[in-house]
Structure 1
Amino acid sequence: MQSIAGKVAFVTGAASGIGLGIAEALAQSGVKVMMADIDGAAVEREAARLAATNADVSWIRADVSLKADLQAAAEATIERFGKVHILVNNAGVGGGGGYGEWTDAQWEWVLGVNLMSVVWGFEIFGPLIEAHGDGGQIVSTASMAGLVAAVAPGYNATKYGVVAISEGLRPVLAARGIGVSVLCPGFIRTRIMESARAVPERLAGAIPPPSDEPLSDFAAMAAQAIAHGIDPLYVGELVVEAIQGDWPYIFTDTQFEMGVDARFSAIKQGFDRVRGRVPRR
């Protein structure tokens, strides 16, 4: 999609952080943007701010862990803009509990927001992009934790899943005129450490509230890195460039490149251990 001015985008998790950065960068590039977020007041406020700059944006409250909300948001996008060309599956939450700590409700929430919303995004918006024949792009936000399992198990699992879905569907949708990209950001200045603020009412009593206990060493390090992280608008600008160039992978920096190299080196060693052996049949 080398020319994106005048196209229509739908962005989830658009009230703050990476989602807002992507929505703003797209709007600055002349794209019409439907901004969706579970925090209705925040997404309304940010949409109004962008509209004041003459951006053509609208907003809708949506809990992306509910398929019906995403379906309703898609219908609202078509009603408002007529078409959709770009889908950004960005909404995400952290947490989920560590080994020996997680609960079924935490898994339900993290899986619903981080992974199933991506599945439903492809399912709902893919046919809408195909229908007009103009082509399009689907960008899904994973994480470096989608390539190196370095966070909580539930978070890692969902982000690996987003990478797998994106890689698997890229050749399938290319034949239908739709590019597929996966965004694997590092430490970005977002509110991911405050994910508990977005727990939906139906799960509020089942998910432990934030603890007053001191953060673990890892969590404290992550909180500092995020607080001093990369500007989300810069990430949005990278995503715009990636959409125009149909990049398969979008990275925000090279900080975790050595970790990815180490993982694939370990995988290669696994093959080396059986190289030359003849399997019994």
Structure 2
Amino acid sequence: MKELAGKTAFVTGAASGIGLGIATAFAQAGAKVMLCDIEEAALSAALEQLRRTNVDVDGVKADVSLKAELVAAAEATTARYGKVHILVNNAGVGGGGPYGTWTEASWNWTLGVNLMATIWGIEIFGPLIEQHGEGGHIVSTASIAGLISGGSTAYNVSKYGVVALSEGLRQELAPRGIGVSVLCPGFIRTQITNSRRNLPKRFEGAVRAMPTSGPLAERINLIRERVSQGIDPIYVGELVREGVENDWPYIFTDLEFEPIVEARFAAIKQGFDRIRGRDPKR
């Protein structure tokens, strides 16, 4: 996708944060962008903001954890723009706690939004990208936590799944003219720590009251502080635009976590080294 001008992109979680940053970067590059979000008021505000810059954008409300609503969003996109060239699976929530605090509702909500919606998005939009034969690209937002899990949370598990899915799809879709990238951001200035604002009623109980003291409370407060001072989503959007134009397999936002990723790879290598020279057939 060397040239985004005139192409059509569908972006989930597009009313704020990274999704809005990506939608903005694509629109400014001349793409037609359909913004999709569960938060109707924020979606309207985002569209109003973007239209002031004379770009071609539209919006559709959808709860991406419901496959039927993603199907309807796809139909709205093709009705509006005819073709789809770029899919951005960006919608995400920061739900789920560590071992000892797990609930069925928190797993269902987090996996439903972060992983299953990504799977369904590809299932629904993949054929739409293939059918026009003009090529295309799929970007899915994981997290640096999709490479270096810091705990047993549903969030980390879901993001590892997005990385695995993207790596496999990249090999499978390349012969079909579709590039695949996985975005693994660090701390970005978004509303991820306030995901409960969009919690559907069917997942009631997925979010528990946060502790006010102790190690877990301290960790949560640290994460909130880091997010509030994080990287500007507009910068992330520009990185994603560049990643799509140049078919990057991995899109990172900064170098902060590179040493931890390297340490993980080293630990994996040690696992192989421990059995090197042994004969498994003995």
The answer to which of 218-227 and 59-68 deviates more is 218-227
Counterpart of 1:18 in structure 2: which amino acid? I
User: Hey, what does 1:25 align to over in structure 2?
Assistant: 25
User: Hey, what does 1:251 align to over in structure 2?
Assistant: 252
The answer to whether 1:146 aligns with 2:146 is yes
User: Hey, what does 1:98 align to over in structure 2?
Assistant: 98
User: Hey, what does 1:74 align to over in structure 2?
Assistant: 74
For residues 63 and 162 of structure 1, the distance between their equivalents in structure 2, rounded to whole angstroms, comes to 18
Cα offset for 1:208?
A: 3.4
The 5 Å alignment of 1:166-185 reads: 166-185=166-185
Counterpart of 1:131 in structure 2: which amino acid? Q
The answer to which of 244-253 and 209-218 deviates more is 209-218
User: Hey, what does 1:207 align to over in structure 2?
Assistant: 206
Provide Cα deviations, 1:34-81, integer angstroms capped at 9, x if missing partner: 000110111111012101211100001110001001100000000000
For residues 42 and 270 of structure 1, the distance between their equivalents in structure 2, rounded to whole angstroms, comes to 48
CA contact (8 A) 2:2 2:245 kept: yes
Count of aligned pairs between the two proteins? 280
State the TM-score, normalized to the length of structure 1.
0.97
Provide Cα deviations, 1:206-255, integer angstroms capped at 9, x if missing partner: 32354372562221211111111100000000000000000000000000
Cα offset for 1:280?
A: 3.5
CA contact (8 A) 2:93 2:110 kept: yes
User: Hey, what does 2:87 align to over in structure 1?
Assistant: 87
| SS across alignment from 1:270 | helix
The answer to whether 1:274 aligns with 2:260 is no
CA contact (8 A) 2:104 2:206 kept: no
CA contact (8 A) 1:196 1:209 kept: no
For residues 156 and 166 of structure 1, the distance between their equivalents in structure 2, rounded to whole angstroms, comes to 15
| SS across alignment from 1:216 | helix
Counterpart of 1:24 in structure 2: which amino acid? T
CA contact (8 A) 2:95 2:109 kept: no
The answer to which of 229-238 and 150-159 deviates more is 150-159
The answer to whether 1:239 aligns with 2:217 is no
| SS across alignment from 1:237 | helix
CA contact (8 A) 1:17 1:190 kept: yes
| SS across alignment from 2:251 | strand
* Residues 1:259 and 1:180: Cα distance change in structure 2 (over 3 Å): same
User: Hey, what does 2:223 align to over in structure 1?
Assistant: 222
For residues 210 and 49 of structure 1, the distance between their equivalents in structure 2, rounded to whole angstroms, comes to 34
For residues 71 and 210 of structure 1, the distance between their equivalents in structure 2, rounded to whole angstroms, comes to 34
- Aligned Cα RMSD in Å? 1.2
| SS across alignment from 2:113 | helix
CA contact (8 A) 1:95 1:152 kept: no
Provide Cα deviations, 1:94-151, integer angstroms capped at 9, x if missing partner: 0212111110011000000000011001100000000001100000000000000025
State the TM-score, normalized to the length of structure 2.
0.97
The answer to which of 26-35 and 146-155 deviates more is 146-155
CA contact (8 A) 1:145 1:151 kept: no
For residues 152 and 194 of structure 1, the distance between their equivalents in structure 2, rounded to whole angstroms, comes to 20
For residues 270 and 46 of structure 1, the distance between their equivalents in structure 2, rounded to whole angstroms, comes to 48
CA contact (8 A) 1:196 1:210 kept: no
